[in-house]
Chain A
Amino acid sequence: DAGVIQSPRHEVTEMGQEVTLRCKPISGHDYLFWYRQTMMRGLELLIYFNNNVPIDDSGMPEDRFSAKMPNASFSTLKIQPSEPRDSAVYFCASSSRLDVVGTDTQYFGPGTRLTVL
């Protein structure tokens, strides 16, 4: 399996622009998570989905952030309009309750490094 795939790997944009981050989870996984990582705050859960349905979006910082999962193999995280304080590394992760390692084991993608100027 190719693992969790994220695109783009790097994104540089100007304040006010729309940013769309993309994620393809591991095939067969029924949970998908979006995280944001910064030096100051560490790894923060933004939102997660179960079977394509958003379950908990309490970590989404504000209305400028939105996430969708139109099918089991694709999800997007959109920021509109972007601000400099959104600069961070955004990770997508997926998991399955039937994972052989153990339930709740999450597999992370390589991340998207976002810089908002």
Chain B
Amino acid sequence: QKEVEQDPGPLSVPEGAIVSLNCTYSNSAFQYFMWYRQYSRKGPELLMYTYSSGNKEDGRFTAQVDKSSKYISLFIRDSQPSDSATYLCAMSDPSGGYQKVTFGTGTKLQVIP
């Protein structure tokens, strides 16, 4: 079993829809949680960063972490065609004294105009 599980999609939604992207994980030591967005033929870029449990909002994007369930989500409100990309969740355990981030395999999202 992988440490981080993410549905690969593809997920296709109409413009303006609310999108929910999710990841589950098995390592309870993960403390930092991130979402990266990767456009086709580009490198991943950081979209959201959260520490421990709770919600974080940035414009149309909301990241949610539920450590008790080992479940994280990314919500996109009023989705736009420009949101079409692959979204990768990522998380890390800081107790090891070094940076090693574990990535999900990514969910491909297509927003149809």
Contact = CB atoms under 8 A, between A and B. Distances in A.
Contact of B99 (A41, A48, A108, A109): A48
B45 A102 contact: no
A67 B94 CA distance: 25
A47 to B, nearest CB: 11
A34 interface: no
Contacts of A103: 32, 94, 99
B interface, size bucket: 20 to 34
Contacts, number: 61
Contact of A97 (B34, B41, B99, B104): B99
B52 to A, nearest CB: 12
A105 interface: yes
B45 A108 contact: yes
A105 B34 contact: yes
Contacts of A41: 105
Given A42-B103, A42-B106, A110 B43 contact: yes
B104 A42 contact: yes
B46 interface: yes
Shortest 4 CB-CB distances between A and B: which pairs?
A108-B43, A42-B105, A102-B49, A104-B92
11 contacts: A42-B105, A43-B106, A45-B101, A48-B99, A50-B99, A91-B43, A95-B99, A102-B34, A102-B49, A104-B94, A107-B45
Interface of A: 4, 31, 41-43, 45, 48, 50, 55-56, 91, 93, 95, 97, 101-111, 113
Given A102-B34, A107-B46, A110-B42, 7 more contacts: A101-B49, A104-B34, A105-B34, A106-B99, A108-B44, A108-B45, A109-B43
